Amino acid sequence: MTTTAPSQAGGRAAVGGRFPCFDGLRAIAAVSVLLTHVAFSAGANTGSVLGRYFARMDAGVAVFFVISGFLLYRPFAAAHLSDRPAPATGPYFWRRFLRIYPAYWLVVIVIVYVFADKHIHDLESFVLWFGLVHIYSQKHAFGPLVQSWTLATEVSFYVFLPVWAWLIRRGTRNRPTSKRLQRELIGLALLVVVSVAWKAFVLSYGFSDGRIGQLKMWLPWWLDMFAVGMLLAVGSVRAVHLERPAPLRLDARRAPAVCWLLALAAFVAVSTGIGMPYKAGGIPLHLLWGQHYLYLATAVFLVLPAVFGPQSRDSGLVRRFLMNRVVVYLGVVSYGIYLWHDPWIDRYVSWTGVTLFGVYRSSTPFAWHTSSVVSVPFFAMILAVFALTVAAASVSWFALERPVLRLKRLGERRLAHLTPGPAPVTSGAAPTPRPRSSAPEPASNGEGSSGEGQAAAPGLPVPPDGSHR
């Protein structure tokens, strides 16, 4: 893996045409979601001194959404700012389908027809679950997996993105780059305003708690997170392709450490500083604002070092960690980790016979060493679920996801002539006449939440898709 030398224009983020730290970010996000679900199911939120932090590890979802916004929008932003045709939408949708649906369908089939933990009672449930549109039915909103609503939200973003890119490009042909950049920024500000207005409407209209829970799953609620990822994409294109300095000196050597300290501060604040409940499921409506934007701050500060600055192992501890071989591998299989951990939690509870929400203080497998500081039963559950999940995710990647993703080229050739745009590019690719500035190939978490633009360590598989959710 070759590393491009930092330049005066902000330290080139792309390495060999990829963003090599994004696999590490996906690993952090997926493992965080696994931990929060295991802790909740085990009752660790109540029994452990770390419970308030376990309860907020669903911030990993925000990381996936920001990643998706960045990696999926970057090729559209690069094409717009360089005044070239946009990526073809037919191949884009084909890659998105291959990345999300086959692996998801496998999990649903297993939990319904093998584990029998979930049941499909009618055709409506079948269509909504397998189509990932269940969030639009209040009765089926949560779907077959605790986390499957986030996949439905991702799918709605996939549909929205090319439409938005087309609207932003309208009337900008042959206009100065500064005008096109200005239009991008104004448009992204508008998306944030729309998202804020949607949240205000949902929380103030007087909907029931169940209806609010459903409306929170829809794209407008999370659109500001995707928009911030899109903003990072525009900033990255500006720094790399337009050879402008990185914003806020984010290419400085100490910037990654500062960003991660700020991410930690935001996470601690949402866990302990705004009165968020953590021993029960409900959250007062007025606290949802603070939770949402502190999650966003956590995600943004985690992602920034992977976007700006020299992307090499010797550019600091943060990037060295994100490019560690083990961390990269967990990122490669992170979509499987995200999908499979919930079924294995159910299986563990069923096999061991422990009481749901009572594992932390149970006597399985040992009664000793259980306190507010440490619980051997809880630790055993984490190890078991993590091992089973990584094993299932690895099988899913090598036996299903990677072979299926090889079909993307076939679909690109057949679909390219049906849609406007240049010769098909991967959704993570940023077309550019300068090879050193090329953007990532798809990977989510995503070509999330998904695999756009990942680079694996030597000897590890490189997922062709980047958003895992």
The whole-number average pLDDT for the span 382-406 is 97
Q: Helices H, strands E: what count in the chain?
A: 18, 0
In the beta sheet, which residues pair with residue 18? 15
Tokens 């042909």 appear where? 173
**In-domain check, residue 39:** yes
In a domain, 431, yes or no: yes
| Buried/exposed code over 353-385 (b: 16+ C-beta within 10 A; e: otherwise) | ebeebbbbbbebeeeeebeeeebbbbbbbbebb
pLDDT tens readout for residues 195-229: 999 999 999 999 999 999 999 999 999 999 999 99
Residues 6+ apart with CB under 8 A from 362: 354, 355, 377
| Token pair 């598989």 in the structure block, residue | 461
Cα distance between residue 62 and residue 65, in whole Å: 5
Query: Residue 452 contacts by C-beta under 8 Å, 6 or more apart in sequence?
Result: 68, 71, 72, 74, 426, 427, 428, 440, 441, 442, 443, 444, 446, 465, 466, 467
Q: Domain containing 204: what range?
A: 22-437
Q: Is residue 453 part of a domain?
A: no
Whether 173 maps to a domain, the answer reads yes
What is the model's pLDDT at position 17? 54
Taking the C-alpha atoms of residue 185 and residue 361, their distance in angstroms, rounded to an integer, is 51
What DSSP assignment string belongs to 368-384? SSBSSS-BHHHHHHHHH
Tell me the helix, strand and coil percentages in the chain, rounded to 5.
Answer: 65, 0, 35
Beta bridge partners of 442: 452
Which residue is associated with the tokens 């986030």?
150
Number of domains in the chain: 1
Tokens matching residue 126: 């079948």
pLDDT tens digits, 236-279: 999 887 778 888 889 898 999 999 999 999 999 999 999 898 87
Per-residue pLDDT tens over the stretch 298-336: 999 999 999 999 999 998 999 999 999 999 999 999 999
Q: Residue 468 domain-assigned?
A: no
Helices assigned H by DSSP within 170-218: 177-204, 209-215
| In a domain? residue 451 | no
Would residue 61 count as lying in a domain? Answer: yes
How many other CB atoms are there within 10 angstroms of residue 110's CB atom? 17
Rounded to two decimals, the pTM is 0.87
> Are 95 and 465 a contacting pair, CB within 8 Å?
yes
The answer to whether residue 253 sits within a structural domain is: yes
Q: Residue 73: enclosing H or E segment and its boundaries?
A: helix 60-81
